[in-house]
Amino acid sequence: MDTLFLARLQFAATTSIHFLFVAVTLGLVTLLVGVQTAGFVTGKPVYERLTRFWGQLYVINYVLGIATGLVMEFQFGLNWSGLSRYVGNVFGAPLAVETLVAFVLESTFLGMWIFGWHRLRRGVHLALLWGVALTAYASAFWVLVGNAWLQHPVGYEIRDGVAHLTDFGALLTNPTLGFAFGHVVAASLVTGGMLMSAVSAFHLIRRTPDFALFRKSLRIGLLTTAAAVVLLIGFGFAQFGPVGQVQPTKFGGGPDRDALVAEWTAKFGPGDYVPPTLSNVGLGFMILIGFGLFFGLLIVPLLWRDWLIRLRFPLWVVLLALPFPFVAVILGWIAREVGRQPWAVYGLLPVDRAVSPVGSGLMLTSLVGFTLLLGALAVTNWVLLARHAARGAADPALGRPPAPDTDTHPQPVFA
Are 383 and 375 in contact by the 8 Å Cβ rule? The answer is: no
Please give the average per-residue pLDDT across 44-56, as a whole number. 95
Query: Which of the residue ranges 60-64, 141-145, 211-215, 267-271 would you say has the lowest mean pLDDT?
Result: 267-271
What distances in angstroms separate CA 311 from CA 220, 302, 306, 321, one per listed residue? 19, 9, 9, 17
Confidence of residue 370 (pLDDT cuts 50, 70, 90): confident
pLDDT at residue 341 tops 90: no
Confidence (pLDDT) at 379: 93
Most confident residue range from 90-104, 214-228, 242-256, 259-273: 214-228
pLDDT greater at residue 104 or residue 145: 145
The pLDDT of residue 405 is 58
pLDDT for the residue 415: 44
What is the per-residue pLDDT for 255? 84
More confident residue, 170 or 254: 170
- pLDDT above 70 for 105: yes
Instruction: Determine the Cα–Cα distance for residues 337 and 151; give it in Å rounded to an integer.
Output: 8
Q: Is the pLDDT of residue 412 over 70?
A: no
Q: Is the pLDDT of residue 157 over 80?
A: yes
Nearest to 151 by CA among 276, 247, 268: 247
pTM: predicted TM-score of the whole model, two decimal places: 0.93
